[in-house]
Amino acid sequence: MNYIKLGNTGLEVSPLALGCMTYGAPDRGAQSWTLDEETSRPLIRLAVESGINFFDTANVYSDGHSEEILGRALRDFAQRDEVVIATKVYFNSRHAPNARGLSRKAIFNEIDNSLKRLGTDYIDLYQIHRWDYNTPIEETLEALHDLVKAGKVLHLGASSMYAWQFSKAIYTSQRHGWTPFVSMQNQLNLISREEEREMIPFCRDAGIAVIPWSPLARGRLTRDWDQSSERARADDVGKTYYTQRTAESDREVVGTVAAIAAERGVTRAQVALAWVRQSAGITAPLIGVSKPHHLTDAIAALRLQLTPEERQRLEAPYVPHAIAGFN
């Protein structure tokens, strides 16, 4: 595994990050497609043994159980100083006052909850999960800066927002001398490329790491168009990301992925992930692993070099999509 720097930081990360939304507690209110701890642990161990040192979760995933599972697994399978743990704050399953969002009170409460669940003294990359329209950005940024100064957080990141919002946050941090954001976690795949318009060019110019989520479009790029999966059937949020309006162009993209995979003698997942990994400005796509071969495919995608002609074929059918994943 060849490690790379996370944006302009000195932090070394693997070129793939293990997304841990899949790991939770389905018997304790999580989604039906999540894996329990007994099933999750071997997959996390396999990732560690394969050289992945970058792990991403969130306080809201399975109501915190994802953080608990990841924390216990990494304590057993890895050295803390060798792994990079990323988690997020904003959402909360409780809708009580001050329980969610990015107020100073919510952030201070949630960092301690995440640290406890992960069983660690610090978070390597603490990310705001969305933009909070109800809290002044200055309040959020100063609170995050204070967490860094307190030693609870090493670096700050953000996820899924408009480029103008992200640039405003970065400018505000610079103006006040607060700790800046070093990464952006946003959606990028062959049937959702809207981030190529503004966010990714902005991040490239600013030296900010890009950590795409859903690089396989919730699995749509890995199977025939008319096929489905347990997660696709049960994931109500995911159903809103890819609309009927773009179905024909999306279908053509999926078909092209299948054709190139057959020509190269590789899996569709390898082709789709290789396209993301080789796109300009990308640092480390987030991969979801619910079966060992998902990890095998992801690592193989690092070695698959698409030709310019293959990239052109994959990109040609795309049509503009509505923004999905944030508002």
Structure token pair of residue 88? 């997020």
Question: Considering just the CA atoms, what is the radius of gyration of the chain in Å?
Answer: 19
Structure token pair of residue 112? 């301690």
The answer to whether residues 200 and 165 touch, using CB atoms and an 8 Å cutoff, is: no
- Which residue type sits at 171? Y
Structure token pair of residue 119? 């069983």
Structure token pair of residue 273? 């992930």
Q: Which residues contact 148 (CB under 8 A, 6 or more apart)?
A: 154, 155, 156, 179
Q: Which is catalytic among the residues 23, 61, 126, 318?
A: 61
- State the Cα–Cα distance between residues 232 and 218, nearest whole angstrom: 7
Instruction: Quickly tell me which residue has 């109500």 as its tokens.
Output: 236
CA–CA distances in Å: residue 53 to residues 11, 49, 100, 163, 257:
11, 9, 29, 28, 29
Provide the 10 A C-beta neighbour count for residue 10: 7
For the beta sheet containing 123-128, the strands, ordered from the edge strand earlier in sequence to the opposite edge, are 209-210, 181-185, 153-159, 123-128, 84-89, 54-56, 17-19, 286-288
The yes-or-no answer on residue 61 being catalytic is: yes
Provide the 10 A C-beta neighbour count for residue 32: 10
Which of 86, 46, 69, 305 lies closest to 183 in space, CA to CA? Answer: 86
Active site residues: 61
